[in-house]
């Protein structure tokens, strides 16, 4: 009898424990579901505050899983539907496709009432902002008088919220208050490539840094052309739009913003910057990825020659091309500030790639994917000769690039591209 009552007690206790555990489990499950639903509705409320306007090539609906996008939103999304970020005095919910909205007052304080001017661009002034969280941002206030301000704002907020790459100046927030349209970007402490190439107070850029910058920009553009779906055409690649971060990595800025149209002498409207404009675009008015490739070729020649188009860069290039057969002999246009400290083979390979990019016939220009592969080989050569002659890594730049270069090579061979190992492999680019 004793045995029976003991069994009854044990059975009842086990039953009660299981019941309690089940009840707690169900409760936790319900709370979790409710919090997920709240997050979802809150994030969709936030997304709906972002003005959306699908508008041709400069709009991006979704990103592909392209291997070129090291920081692709797909990766971001895979970590969960949304992330919370917290800073002193504010709490923002970031949805996978959205970006945080900042209060005008907060920006007013961080920019000392919009007095810390970094510079003035075609879209309006850019200020440095010291946020209370300790973050430093660049705040671009879109000019009120800009006819296209609203459209550009809508384009960029929507587009940049979805584009993430380490070679792009990523949008980190926006503000739409008091009739103002403001874009917030990561602050690039080393300024623009133009300021390094042409600034009187800047030390000359070393050759190995120029090679790295060329590859960084090519990767940023490759991501825009081949990683974004639908593809994004930049339309204004030039040295002032290439910014350098704290490690001297280059990042492409100002994409998604459509510049005010310029009037040509014959009265027709074109967009972009003189000297970088694809001649085919000027005659056909049709801007394509290959028009970006042309502007990128001009930028490569800027890196080589230390001159900009306003200083007669392309005339200089055409003169040199007469002697250079397109592949060798480019050293005669090398920037005098380099004082001969460059590898002739690397310079010729970079110039040969640049020359193909600036072909007058767009279909003869390489894709950015091909340019990246050619520049990887130049950069690899540059890295290995630096290692051979003792390490001379730029300040802040680590040797992890060599790992990156390997990874990208693997990707190209995985996708069936057969590449030869010599530096002279730019010959694989289409002939001009």
Ligand X SMILES: Nc1ncnc2c1ncn2[C@@H]1O[C@H](COP(=O)(O)OP(=O)(O)OP(=O)(O)O)[C@@H](O)[C@H]1O
List residues near ligand X by CB under 6 A. 118-123, 126, 138, 140, 169, 185, 187-188, 191-192, 240-241, 243, 253-254
Q: Which is nearer to ligand X, 241 or 382 (CB)?
A: 241
Q: Is the peptide bond before 230 cis (omega within 30 degrees of 0)?
A: yes
- Burial label for 195, CB within 10 Å (0-12, 13-18, 19+), is middle
Minimum Å gap between C-beta 365 and ligand X is 23
Minimum Å gap between C-beta 171 and ligand X is 10
Question: To the nearest 5 percent, what fractions of the chain are helix, strand and coil?
Answer: 50, 15, 35
Minimum Å gap between C-beta 232 and ligand X is 17
Minimum Å gap between C-beta 316 and ligand X is 23
Q: Which is nearer to ligand X, 233 or 253 (CB)?
A: 253
Query: DSSP state, 223?
Result: I
CA angle 301, 304, 307 (to 5 degrees): 70
Residue 65 backbone phi and psi in degrees, to 5: -90, 25
304 touches 334 (CB < 8 A): yes
Active site residue 343: no
Minimum Å gap between C-beta 44 and ligand X is 29
Q: Which is nearer to ligand X, 140 or 210 (CB)?
A: 140
- Burial label for 171, CB within 10 Å (0-12, 13-18, 19+), is buried
Residue 105 CA: distances (Å) to CA of 45, 114, 218: 22, 11, 38
CA angle 149, 155, 161 (to 5 degrees): 125
- Burial label for 413, CB within 10 Å (0-12, 13-18, 19+), is exposed
CA distance linking residue 220 with residue 314, whole number of Å: 24
Closest CA to 207 of 390, 338, 356: 338
Please give the sequence-ordered ranges of beta strands (E in DSSP) within 198-297, or none if there are none: 228-229, 242-244, 250-252, 262-263, 269-270
Minimum Å gap between C-beta 279 and ligand X is 21
Enclosing H/E stretch for 98: none
Catalytic residue among 236, 245, 254, 292: 236
Query: DSSP state, 148?
Result: T
CA distance linking residue 302 with residue 305, whole number of Å: 5
Query: Would you tell me the crossing angle of helices 289-305 and 313-324 to the nearest 10 degrees?
Result: 80
Query: DSSP state, 147?
Result: T
Minimum Å gap between C-beta 169 and ligand X is 5
CA distance linking residue 305 with residue 289, whole number of Å: 25
Q: Which is nearer to ligand X, 36 or 144 (CB)?
A: 144
Q: Which is nearer to ligand X, 254 or 292 (CB)?
A: 254
CA distance linking residue 34 with residue 323, whole number of Å: 72
Minimum Å gap between C-beta 287 and ligand X is 16
Which residue has its beta carbon closest to ligand X? 121
Mind telling me the catalytic residues?
A: 236
């Amino acid at each position: 009898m004793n045995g029976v009552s003991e069994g009854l007690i044990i059975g009842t206790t086990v039953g009660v424990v299981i019941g309690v555990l089940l009840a707690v489990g169900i409760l936790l499950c319900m709370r979790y579901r409710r919090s997920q639903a709240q997050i979802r509705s809150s994030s969709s409320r936030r997304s709906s505050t972002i003005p959306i306007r699908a508008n041709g090539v400069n709009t991006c609906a979704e990103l592909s899983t392209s291997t070129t996008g090291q920081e692709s939103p797909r990766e971001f999304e895979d970590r969960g539907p949304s992330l919370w970020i917290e800073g002193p005095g504010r709490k923002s919910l970031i949805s996978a496709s959205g970006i945080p909205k900042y209060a005008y007052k907060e920006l007013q304080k961080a920019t000392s009432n919009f007095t810390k001017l970094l510079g003035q661009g075609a879209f309006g002034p850019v200020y440095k902002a010291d946020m209370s969280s300790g973050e430093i941002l660049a705040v671009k206030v879109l000019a009120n008088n800009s006819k296209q301000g609203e459209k550009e704002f809508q384009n960029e907020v929507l587009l940049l919220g979805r584009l993430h790459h380490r070679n792009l100046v990523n949008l980190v927030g926006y503000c739409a208050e008091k009739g103002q349209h403001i874009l917030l970007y990561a602050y690039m402490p080393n300024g623009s490539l133009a300021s390094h190439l042409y600034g009187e107070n800047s030390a000359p850029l070393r050759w190995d840094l120029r090679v790295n910058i060329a590859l960084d920009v090519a990767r940023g553009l490759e991501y825009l052309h081949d990683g974004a779906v639908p593809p994004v055409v930049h339309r204004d690649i030039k040295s002032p739009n290439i910014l350098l971060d704290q490690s001297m990595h280059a990042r492409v800025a100002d994409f998604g913003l459509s510049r005010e149209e310029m009037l040509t002498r014959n009265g027709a409207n074109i967009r972009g910057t003189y000297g970088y404009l694809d001649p085919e675009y000027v005659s056909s008015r049709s801007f394509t990825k290959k028009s970006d490739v042309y502007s990128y070729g001009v930028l490569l020649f800027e890196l080589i020659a230390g001159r900009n188009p306003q200083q007669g860069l392309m005339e200089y290039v055409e003169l040199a091309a007469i002697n250079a057969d397109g592949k060798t002999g480019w050293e005669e246009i090398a920037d005098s500030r380099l004082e001969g400290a460059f590898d002739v083979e690397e310079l010729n390979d970079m110039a040969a790639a640049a020359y193909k990019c600036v072909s007058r016939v767009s279909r003869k220009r390489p894709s950015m994917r091909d340019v990246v592969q050619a520049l990887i080989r130049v950069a690899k050569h540059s890295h290995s000769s630096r290692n051979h002659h003792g390490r001379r890594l730029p300040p802040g730049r680590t040797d992890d690039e060599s790992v990156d270069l390997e990874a990208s090579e693997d990707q190209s061979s995985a996708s069936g591209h057969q590449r030869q190992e010599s530096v002279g492999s730019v010959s694989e680019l289409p002939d001009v």
